[in-house]
């Protein structure tokens, strides 16, 4: 079930938009991501299967600190601005961009993004995937699966961003994504002091 930004979302704060990019734009972005030096995602002593590279402000999972990274490259700025406008945000609200490549078998386990970040806008490239959401209700979990189609955009804000965990199920094909994040009030305070 793919929704556009004007449909009623299955979860409060979740919006999706299919065909945000053309096939040509998708190909150009995949080539640009593959030209960046991607490295396995590291979380403390654990190394993930997905490959990543971050631009802008970033959270260091080894030290637990926020710091400035490389500025977003010129090729990424137009897509950042388009994604922000599609999500109803100011173009410069996105302070972090995370490039990801999921090789076959890679996914993301259950998590919530760090509280220094507020809204999350993602763009899916390559193979389709499923974003899974869960929230504890009593002794059980409420679960919702949302398909992420190639060239589509998703936007997490409010309840779905802060109260629900999400994950990406492993797939058997290569998938790329670009994730943009804005600061929360906490993130703005920490960044101002950095």
Residue 93 domain-assigned (yes or no): yes
Domain holding 169: CATH number?
A: 2.60.120.590
Global pTM?
A: 0.89
- Considering its fold, how many domains does the chain have in total? 1
Instruction: Decide if 98 is inside a domain.
Output: yes
Residue 36's pLDDT band (cuts 50, 70, 90): very high
Q: What DSSP line would sit under 140-189, residue for residue?
A: EEEEEEEEE-TT-EEEE-HHHHHT-EEEE---SS-EEEEEEEEE-HHHHH
b (16+ CB within 10 A) / e for 17-50:
beebbeeebbeebbebbeebebeebeeeeeebeb
pLDDT in tens, 38-92: 987 665 555 567 899 999 988 766 666 777 889 999 999 999 999 999 999 998 9
In-domain check, residue 1:
no
- Residue the block writes with tokens 């499923």: 130
**Residue 7 lies inside a defined structural domain of this protein:** no
Strand partners, 167: 132
Which domain does 140 fall in, by range? 14-193
Q: Which of 182, 192, 186 is nearest to 89 (CA)?
A: 182
**Across all residues in the chain, what is the average pLDDT?**
89
pLDDT at 8: 44
Whether residue 4 is contained in a domain is answered as no
Structural domain includes residue 164:
yes
Q: What is the pLDDT of residue 39?
A: 84
**Domain assignment present for 6:** no
């Amino acid at each position: 079930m793919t929704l556009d930004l004007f449909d009623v979302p299955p979860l409060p704060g979740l919006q999706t938009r299919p065909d945000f990019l053309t096939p040509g734009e998708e190909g150009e972005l995949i080539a640009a991501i593959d030209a960046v030096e991607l490295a396995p995602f590291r979380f403390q002593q654990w190394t993930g299967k997905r490959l990543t590279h971050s631009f802008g402000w970033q959270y260091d999972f080894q030290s637990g600190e926020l710091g400035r990274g490389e500025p977003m490259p010129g090729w990424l700025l137009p897509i950042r601005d388009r994604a922000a406008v599609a999500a109803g945000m100011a173009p410069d609200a996105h302070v972090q961009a995370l490039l990801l490549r999921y090789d076959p078998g890679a996914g993301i386990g259950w998590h919530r993004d760090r509280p220094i970040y507020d809204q999350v806008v993602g763009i899916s490239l390559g193979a389709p995937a499923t974003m899974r959401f869960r929230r504890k209700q009593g002794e059980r979990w409420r679960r919702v699966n949302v398909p992420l189609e190639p060239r589509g955009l998703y936007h997490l804000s409010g309840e779905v961003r802060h109260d629900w965990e999400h994950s990406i199920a492993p797939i058997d094909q290569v998938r790329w994504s670009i994730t943009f994040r804005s600061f929360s009030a906490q993130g703005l305070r920490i960044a101002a002091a950095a």
